[in-house]
Structure 1
Amino acid sequence: MKYGKFAAVYDGLMEDIPYEEYVEWVASHVSSGKLLDVACGTGTLSQLFAEMGYDVTASDLSDDMLTIANQRFQEANQSIPVLQLSMDNLEGLTGFDLVTLAIDSLNYLQTEQQVQQTFKEVYKALNQGGYFFFDVHSIFKVDTVYMNSPFVYDAEEIAYIWHTESGEFTHSVVHDITFFVQQGNLFERFEETHEQRTFPIAVYTNWLEAAGFSLESVTADFSTHLPDNASERIFFCARK
């Protein structure tokens, strides 16, 4: 998927994501080491992990996202290697102490095989005893919360109208978003379509174990609480 114009507005749309809490969650399990940030987007988490002292490598499939990430790292004088890779094909990367796959990026994979292959690729990338951290949308969020669209966002420089509908698969959603982005005295309009799919917690757990992982914890919504029927974001910590 190309993210050209979307990449340019991505950070503004993600302002409410508590990235620092994500870093704290990871650091509570392992406080240092060689870290691979898969599907890094514009590099916000990669930068925070580097500031915490992790030896970070960032990867993403989108060259538009990576262009912004590279610029972010250069402006901060951070030497973070950037790789253009799909999350289900990490091309032989090995030697990492921890891998992160954050902010529901895994939900962009549309097939069961892609998710299972991603778990296998992450497993191979990790050292023995290494940790894998990721989060996904809950079934409740995909099937119920997202179906309450349209959603409207209006800020000084960016506005959008966001429509959703059920996708092709069970527990999948299609996001159709129309953006209005200020360019001088005018607003540019462009449209994006994104498709996401999630699975029950037990399915993710089975796939992790099939790939060789042991499950350390499953929590919800940037907390230490167990997921319940109203949880919207599910966090997994697994270990090789």
Structure 2
Amino acid sequence: MKGNTSFREYASYYDLIYNDKDYGSEVGFIEEIFEDTRKPRTILEVGCGTGSYTKILLERGYDVTAVDLSGDMLRIAGEKCACKFIEGDIRDVSINERFDACIAMFAVMGYMTENSGIIKALNNIHEHLKPDGIFIFDVWNGLAVMRTLPEQRIKEVENDEIKIIRLANPKLRSFEHICEVNYKLLIQNKEDNAFDEINEKHIVRFYFPQEIKYYLESAGFEVLKICPFMDLMGGDVDENVWNITVIARAVGGEE
């Protein structure tokens, strides 16, 4: 994940910025996939962030182990729910346990920007899955990114204490299959009207369907389905679908 700034400052505002994200429906989509493949008991969550998916999965009866690079994100997650949280890098973290399923939601795998990084991550995830374990993740679809170039965006959110204006300025690095998103957060304290500013750079890789298939098969996975995000029966992925879900099965290995 070379080139990405840390989520240290961003972490404290993360949940407010994404307060419109319907995590419950997304977990419902994950469960729909489980019903279509193999319903797990134990789940490894990669890139759990502030634990929004984690909390819902726990409430629905799953045994979750959650991993994230950011200790600041994990501290917030730990305030939401009691879970086995691990600060680590999925490219080399060792948990000494095999799981029925692994999930990596909200474009987590896109933060593996180098070929060597994605190979290490997929191999390590495979090592942590039981035979026939299911791996679910979502990424940006290169077909759509190259057709509809990322645009500047402004998002405003607030609560009783602060108001945030987030400016997103994307820069496409097409040869590298990368989108560099420069975020500027303007944070207004409502009590004294003071402003703070945070700048973050997020380097996100987008993937083409055949590229995904190659990496997964090289790491010992069978690709079961690549579909539009939140639409299991949505048919083939094309240049009109920006976010895609990948469903794979771990082949071989030992219990």
When normalised by structure 2's length, the TM-score is: 0.86
**Residue 182 (structure 2) aligns with:** 176
- The DSSP-based 3-state class of the residue aligned with 2:183 is strand
In structure 1, C-alpha distance between the alignment counterparts of 2:188 and 2:12, rounded to whole Å: 12
Cα deviation, 1:189-218, whole Å, max 9, x if unaligned, reads: 111111111221111111111111111211
- Aligned equivalents of 2:195, 2:148: Cα separation in 1: 29
What does 1:1-240 correspond to in 2, within 5 Å? 1-28=5-32, 29=34, 30-73=38-81, 79-145=82-148, 147-149=150-152, 151-156=153-158, 157-167=163-173, 169-183=175-189, 184-185=191-192, 186-224=194-232, 225-226=234-235, 227-240=237-250
Please list every run of at least 4 consecutive aligned residues from structure 1 whose deviation after the TM superposition is greater than 6 angstroms.
Answer: none
**Worse-superposed segment, 182-191 or 60-69:** 182-191
Q: Is the 8 A contact 2:178 2:206 kept in 1?
A: yes
CA distance in structure 2 between the aligned counterparts of 1:141 and 1:14, rounded to whole angstroms: 23
What does the per-residue CA deviation read over 1:98-121, in whole Å, with 9 as the maximum and x for residues that have no partner?
A: 111111011111101111111111
Code of the residue aligned with 2:103 in structure 1: it is: T
Q: State the Cα RMSD in Å.
A: 1.7
Bigger RCO of structures 1 and 2 (CA < 8 A, at least 6 apart): 2
Aligned length: 234
Q: Is the 8 A contact 2:155 2:166 kept in 1?
A: yes
Aligned to 1:76: none
Q: 3-state SS of the aligned residue for 1:229?
A: coil
Structure 2 counterpart of 1:46, one-letter code: T
Tell me the amino acid that sits aligned with residue 43 of structure 1.
Answer: G
Residue identity (%): 24
Answer whether contact 1:136 1:198 (CA < 8 A) is retained.
yes
* Structure 2 CA distance for partners of 1:177 and 1:80, relative to 1, 3 Å: same
Cα distance, 1:179 vs structure 2: 0.4
Cα distance in 2 between the residues matched to 1:20 and 1:61: 24
Q: TM-score, normalised by structure 1?
A: 0.91
